[in-house]
Amino acid sequence: QVQLVESGGGLVQPGGSLRLSCAASGFTLGGYAIGWFRQAPGKEREGVSCISSIGRTTYYADSVKARFTISRDNTRNTVLLQMNSLKFEDTAVYYCATRPTTCGSNWYDSGRFGSWGQGTQVTVSS
């Protein structure tokens, strides 16, 4: 069964950190670019970050630049999203998704991504 599973979400205070993990089962992540998206209540899903299949290229939304770092370990079939200096507005359900090889200039377009995980909740609250 082809599946993506996100983990690592939770409740954190503003300024805190979390590390999200996207793990694949049933297939190899190595041939895919991986995107992280998030969706807050009442808002559309938005692109957060993307990493190409071999990790050479990364993209970030302006809202998370310098705070979030995406990385991948293809030997462990896992992509990570390190989130630092978290803000209230980072509260959302975070999803990972796949698309072939490259992120592309339109990496933030969720419609161009195929397999999706079930999401992990990130709540930033004092």
Residue 33 pLDDT level (bands cut at 50, 70, 90): very high
101 phi/psi in degrees, rounded to 5? 65, -70
Phi-psi region of 73 (alpha: psi -120 to 50; beta: other; left: phi over 0): beta
What's the confidence (pLDDT) of residue 9? 98
CB atoms within 10 A of CB 61: 17
Residues 1 and 65 sit within 8 Å (Cβ to Cβ):
no
DSSP, res 36: E
What's the confidence (pLDDT) of residue 2? 76
Residue 70 pLDDT level (bands cut at 50, 70, 90): very high
Residue 13 pLDDT level (bands cut at 50, 70, 90): very high
What's the confidence (pLDDT) of residue 101? 83
